[in-house]
Amino acid sequence: MPERQIRATIDDLNAWSRSGFVGGPQFDATRDTVPAPEDGRPAAFVGPVTLPNSDRRGAFLEAFTVVRQETDHLADLQAAYPHPKAVFQSTRLLSASQGLREGNCVVFFPENIPTAHPCTHQNFAWFFFNRHVGIYAHTLAITAELCGAGTPFAGESRLRSADVDPEDVYQARCIWGYMHDYFHHTGPRPLDQNLALKTKWRPGLLEELKVDMKSAIACHEEQVPYGDIIFEYIMLERLFRYPAQPEPLRNFDAGTGFALGTWLADHGLLTVDEQGRRRLGSKSDIVASVRELVQLIEEIETISEDDTYRSSAEDFLYSTLLLKPETKGHRYGGPRAPLSLWGATVHV
């Protein structure tokens, strides 16, 4: 760890100790000194952090080390999808405390560190993409439980993303990460210019859904390396694994899966056959449908006034994709589509 980062963390710990550990930790100095490591270089973090999709709720003291390793296809991606504002780092997780060893967290952002002042820009974003090998094995198991053997996509004979070499999994996941972040920085309201607003739960859910659907469209229609594999990663992760997370009605990514599933079900592209197997439409039909969804989300983003944009995003979310929460502590009340589409994999 750089000396500046170590000193900032010690100062934050001492300030928290002097307060008698009253209230939550406020590690602003630590947040502002975590590095964005250069390709091939290691980095580390020690401190309080909230880990999305982990098995813990709230911030815990964690420690982990990474080494940055960008995809071999980075130059080709930068040529086809130039991204001058890229601040994310594709990394391999080397060692970790319990919060990262367990659960399915693959991200570490400045906004995951508890602070006194909200995060207004990202100076780093670590993605632990070697974790995707084990995580996607779980996704395939859930998909098989819901859809049976083979592939749920109409017109396909097999899943392209099954039985992929672990190094190819890492390469494909890095490319998905690049595409995802690239599309965060496009459209009427780029993420870097609206970070405080788009880290709010409801606009953020639509943002996340939008950028992954734009990534899926590009992977299907353009010359993206590992495009067929990444398309299946996006769809099966969002549709089937995320809704199976613990406490799905509190989980941001589970909400994106329920929202996408509702949209596809409403368009006849997510169904249940007579044997109880979930079936998806063809990839081309899915792309045509989610392109319409992206257009609707980006139309909302053209609203210039922040409060009106935020309320319009919430109205669209709850009128079209998700139910309003009925229980305190839940972020939404489930999908508008029948919950039976997800079967016994979902526990609400």
The answer, yes or no, to whether residue 198 has pLDDT greater than 80, is yes
Per-residue pLDDT band for 97 (boundaries 50, 70, 90) equals very high
Query: CA 335, 211, 51, 168 torsion: positive or negative?
Result: positive
Percent of the chain with pLDDT over 90: 76
Q: What percent of the chain has pLDDT over 70?
A: 100
| 212-224 mean pLDDT | 97
Spatial contact of 150 and 159, defined as CB atoms under 8 Å apart: yes
Give me 218's structure tokens: 């590009």
Q: Confidence band (pLDDT; 50, 70, 90) for 20? A: confident
* Mean pLDDT for the chain overall: 92
pLDDT greater than 80 at residue 275: yes
- Among 248, 42, 59, 191, which residue's Cα sits nearest to residue 126? 42
Query: Tokens representing 258?
Result: 């329920």
The gap from C-alpha 272 to its chain's centroid, in whole angstroms, comes to 26
pLDDT at 309 over 80: yes
Does the pLDDT value for residue 84 go beyond 90? no
Q: Whose CA is closest to 242, among 260, 225, 230, 226?
A: 260
The pLDDT of residue 53 is 74
pLDDT at 235: 98
Q: 125 near 87, Cβ under 8 Å? A: yes
* Mean local confidence (pLDDT), 329-334: 89
Q: Tell me the three state secondary structure of residue 108.
A: strand
pLDDT of 326: 86
Q: Walk across the sheet containing 107-108 and list its strands.
A: 42-49, 60-68, 89-96, 126-128, 107-108
Q: Is 223 exposed, middle or buried (0-12, 13-18, 19+ CB in 10 A)?
A: exposed
More confident position, 84 or 68: 68
Give the pLDDT mean for 29-41. 94
pLDDT of res. 197: 84
Alpha carbons 258 and 342: distance in angstroms, whole number: 9
pLDDT tier for residue 52 given thresholds of 50, 70 and 90 = confident
Q: Which pLDDT tens digit goes with each residue over 183-193?
A: 999 989 988 88
Quote the pLDDT of residue 35.
92
